[in-house]
Every structure is written in structure tokens, then in C-alpha cells.
Chain A
């Protein structure tokens, strides 16, 4: 599947309620106006971009994460069943996770991103039940970014000792002894 086809398919799964309201109110020549509306209001709750990346990027809201992931995996057209990379990222204001997915059947890739502004208690849904490899990767993210995962079977520190203070891969982590700051 090409990235465009994927985008069209996936965007239909999560229609934006705001968009529907708007499109209903605009009753004249819907097809003509659609391109304009798309610029102002996203028809989907997901944001797509291919800019600066070789994959199709999907930004999803935390509450839709697990549902999206589940659909991406079980839908026969996407069937993205291979989670090959799960990365925690600190974007400064936001904390988030990047999922790299591949389909072993169709051999297409997609990147799903999820972000939260809550830095004190960031929480996402775990995808352990979909991909068992996520168990270790999520523990790693929990260890280094302090991101919690709901429904994770065994969420505890993986690399660091349990009493370790702070989350080293966050940008605001300070360790004057072990870190050389240039």
C-alpha cells in the first residue's frame, strides 16, 4: 500500500466530529468545498505528515492510541503486525512515544506518534497486548522518560536501579557528577 492509500484508509477510522458538523452546515456543493475545509479543519482526529521523514507519520491523541494501534494491526489491509521500534522522545514541552510499524504481509511502514503535555505524570495506554515486544520497550521508556503505561503487566525499571532518582533521557535531567555538559 502506498502512503497516500494508507493515509486515506486510516483517516476514515477516526472522523473528526467538528468536521462533520461543519460539513453538514455547509450544504452547497460539498465536493467543491472539501479542499478548503480540509485546510481549516482536519477531517480526521489524526494528523498526517510525510515531511522530513521517509515514512508516513501519524500523530494520534493519547485517548485514541490503543484503538488506532489495534485497528492498524488487525485490519487486513494495513495488517501492521511488526513493531520494530518504540522510542520515547522528549520534545521539550511534550513527552511522547514514536512507534515504528511494519507489515510483514504488505511490507509497508507507518510511524505513529503520541504526545502529552503532562510532564509530571505522563500516561499512555500500553500496547503490550498487541505486540509482546512492547513489554520490554515500554519498560525502557518508563525507565528513561518516566512515562507510565496503563495495563502494562510488569512496569518497573529495566536498566536502572529501582531507587534511581529522575529520568535520564529527559532533556531537563541534571546529574552533575555523571554528565559532562559542554
Chain B
């Protein structure tokens, strides 16, 4: 007995720690992961957050509601329009404002364009994380077209601030409809190109299939949302269950995959590109005439109470929770960011895999660190 014990002991491999981040190409910003590794096999992943924490929730407590909108696009900067929309919807619902249809439709179109832009960037980076560097430029080529459209209409390419409580800051640019239609035609020829370059690649499929598996039960328990949850077969699209803006007027399918692995999550996002295109197509010809904004008081005071609004950003369910005491500032403001919950599942998904698997898994979680750190 003793002999075998010493024998086992002498051949025992040693676990060691490794710091992945905060400056690491695969952590997409300033995420630090403390990895416990045995050889190449991951034993434990512990995220260390806070490198870009700005305490937006505390800042909100002293800002007016119009100002808060501007803080939100610094959270998940890749779906800034949808973040803005979430805060505006919360405020508008609390004030029981009647929002013109024109505003709703434009918000939805731009929201879906934002989602496409975000997924394009994600696709590029996903390819890069598994070692195919070329995808990055293909994704950016198409994202650039969307950013140009935004620039023309909103004046900004990334942090758009196009929403204000009560509507939109100004009306759309006269070229908007034409350029969006051009983009749709262009992008429909490009998604098959994405599939050709990456989806169908044998190495890519080997790298992603069966990697980072998250079962449906675990997905619910970890509170994940968005494409990550839908890749595990958990139907959670806020656009379906709690439609906001003009999303109740359009028909689209919620993309669901049941495998729960990295490839399933990848497929969900690629298919979502088609769904977003179809939503835009349904709305772009039917933008109703009317005002682009309803007048609100210069100082917005929310009634006493608690207000919660969910929206579906490119990464999942964003919740805005406002506790108001009837003053011009929120008493407490909480952002339920999708990335935060999605990240909490990372340890569960990555343990037992290799370092390369961790990177691939992290790529399909589509983490945006300012969204997690807030």
C-alpha cells in the first residue's frame, strides 16, 4: 500500500496558477482570469473583475434621467443604442408617455442594425480567437457600413446617444432608408461568405463542437441569457416574451440550438443575423410619418415606485431597475447586465478543457468587459 502511495506521489503532476489578463489578447479588454492549470488542463477559472469599474450605478444616483442615458452606452459599447433604449423605455413607461409609432419603428431598426454590427464584430473576433485571423477584417468590412449609416443619422459611430426619454434626439437622415436597403442587399451575399470561411471549416468545427458545454438546466441556474442561453436550448428572447418598441409588429423566429456547446452558440448568432435582417426588411418600408419626439418636462421626475424594463441586447437580457422616490434622480439604479451572468458560467464551462477550449468558449460568451464592470 505504502509503496503505491509513494509511487503515485512521485508521478503526481503539479497544479499551477497562471494569470490570464488583464492584458491578454483573448480576454477582449481588461478581464483577468486566474487559471489553475494541470499541464494544459484547466482545473479552475476565477475571474477577477473591476479593472474598468466606473460605478455607473452610483453616478446615476446623482444624475438626471437624460444624463443617465448617456452613461449607459459606456456599458456595453457594442450595443449602445439598445442600452439607451432600455433606459428611455423605463422612464417612458414610468411617466406613461405615449410614444409615436415612428419613434418605435426607428428604434427597432437601429436596434437590429446594432445587433448585426455587434455580431459582425463578434464573428471576426471569434475567428481570431480560434486562430483564423482573416475573419476579423471580413467582419469589420460589414460593420463599417452600419457604422457609416449610424454616423449619418446620429452623428456618432459607436456611442450613439440617439435616444432621449420621449423619443429620438432628431429625425433620421434622408439617406437612411436608401443606405439601409443597400446594406441589406450587400449583407445577404456576405453571410454565406462567413459560412464558407469559418462555419464549414473542419478545424473550426473540431475546435468548437462539444467544447464548453452548458446544459439547459445549468443555463437557467446560472442566469445566462441571449445567444448563450439559446445555444443551450433555453428559449429566453426578450423580443419574443416581452416585446418592446415595434417588435410586436414584426414576425421573426427565435433561434434555438440544443447542443449547448460552443458551436451551437456560434450557430445561434449566425442565424440571428438572418433574423435581424428580416426584422429590418419588414420595417424599413413602413416607417410611419409623424413626430420623432414627444415633449417632456425639462426636469423629468419619475413617480414614486419601482420600474423594471428588460431589453434584448446583442449579448442577452439587459435589465434596468429604477427605484424612484419621486425626485429628479433615481434613488437606486441597477443594471442587470447580460455579460455579468454569462461570465459566471465560465468556470463551469471551461473546467476540464484545454487552454484553447477556454479561449473558444470565452469567444462565444461574447464578453464586453465594461458591460460586466459597469
Contact = CB atoms under 8 A, between A and B. Distances in A.
B356 interface: no
B233 to A, nearest CB: 11
A158 B223 contact: no
A111 B319 CA distance: 14
Contact of A52 (B53, B234, B303, B345): B303
Contact of B241 (A52, A83, A107): A107
Contacts of B319: 84-85, 100
Interface stretch (B71-79, B154-162, B201-209, B336-344): B336-344
Given A52-B304, A104-B234, A158-B49, A85 B221 contact: no
A165 B223 CA distance: 30
Contacts, number: 89
Interface residues of B, number: 38
Contacts of B62: 180-182
Contacts of A54: 307-308
A85 B321 contact: yes
Contacts of A169: 55, 57-58
A131 interface: yes
Given A87-B334, A100-B321, A136 B308 contact: no
A131 B241 CA distance: 22
A135 B224 CA distance: 13
B232 to A, nearest CB: 12
Q: How large is the interface on A (under 10, 10 to 19, 20 to 34, 35 or more residues)?
A: 35 or more
Contacts of B218: 132
Contacts of A84: 223, 225, 310, 317, 319, 336, 341
Contacts of B345: 132-133
A89 to B, nearest CB: 5
Contacts of A52: 303-306
Which 10 pairs from chain A and chain B are nearest by CB? A52-B305, A133-B223, A159-B50, A136-B344, A85-B336, A87-B334, A53-B306, A132-B221, A159-B53, A133-B222
Given A54-B307, A85-B308, 5 more contacts: A84-B223, A85-B319, A158-B49, A160-B50, A169-B57
